[in-house]
Amino acid sequence: MTALKENLDRLEEAIAAACRAANRARAEVELMAVSKTFPAEAVVEALSLNLALFGENRVQEFTAKSHELGDARPRLRCHLIGHLQSNKSARAAELFDGVDSLDSLRLAERLSEAAGKCAKRLPVLLEIKLSHEATKTGLDPASADAAQLLERLPDLPQLELHGLMTVAPLGAGEQGTRDCFRALRALRDRWAAAYSRLNFAVLSMGMSGDFALAIAEGATRIRVGSALFGSRPALRP
């Protein structure tokens, strides 16, 4: 058995246990394999183990990897989960099957225009910032930009809102992490009630270290990298 297969088996057991503890069906939680920094061969092996949804955090890195994937590329869905600068939105719209890190009105407008040019409807998640870490990206849900973006989204037909995404603050501890996930779910419920033309079905939260808490708090998609592929070399900021 390969290391990836072993890791996946172990991960699936932990996901199943978290679902049981939360009284949820395994089918309610989608597993995204975060393949950033790992080579195309790792993605191909993951595909052979029936993983189909992948997360990458850089446009440039996935441009190269996408070429290497060749024939395998159409068999997977790959979403951008890292911060997107609006000057890279054309490339991102072409390259990815979804953008889970939409965090401003300006980016939404650029991305919608870019998706239109490649005759694509692009699934998106709003990345929400729920803590005040200076380094953290994401949309402040109480900001004027958030309000304007939510008003504007129904008129951007090339973007298809599917829900919300967040990353728990680093070193928040179990309670802080739980609070963050709970806050995302509460925000989702509030926005779903207030913006009936928009779809908020997806709650993407939880990574290798905290996916069980996220499942307990209602995650419908977890994003797992190192628990599947192994530890990564330190990332550039």
Ligand X SMILES: *Cc1c(COP(=O)(O)O)cnc(C)c1O
Applying CB under 6 A, the residues found at the interface with ligand X are: 34, 36, 57, 81-82, 167, 207-209, 223-227
Q: How far is the CB of 177 from ligand X (least distance, A)?
A: 12
Nearest to ligand X of 19, 81 (CB atom): 81
Nearest to 163 by CA among 196, 192, 135: 192
CB of 123 to ligand X, least distance (A): 16
Run of H or E including 67: helix 59-69
For ligand X, give the closer residue by CB, 93 or 103. Answer: 103
For residue 113, give the amino acid letter. Answer: E
Minimum CB separation of residue 39 from ligand X in Å reads 16
Closest contact distance (angstroms) between CB of 147 and ligand X is: 24
- Identify the H or E element spanning 142: none
Closer Cβ to ligand X, 78 or 158, answer by number: 78
CA atoms within 13 A on the CB side of 100: 26
CA distance 184 to 128: 8
CB of 117 to ligand X, least distance (A): 27
CB closer to ligand X, 85 vs 148: 85
What ranges in 70-104 are assigned the alpha helix state H? 89-95
For the chain, report the end-to-end CA distance as a whole number of angstroms: 34
Closest CB 36 distance from ligand X, rounded Å: 6
State the Rg of the chain over Cα: 17
Shorter beta-carbon distance to ligand X: residue 34 or 114: 34
201, 3 contact by CB (below 8 A): no
Q: Which residue's C-beta sits nearest to ligand X?
A: 225
**Strand 221-224 to 122-127 pairing:** unpaired
* Residue number with CB closer to ligand X (111 or 158): 111
∠ Cα 158 101 131 (to 5°) = 140
User: Residue 94, Cα to own-chain centre: how many angstroms?
Assistant: 18
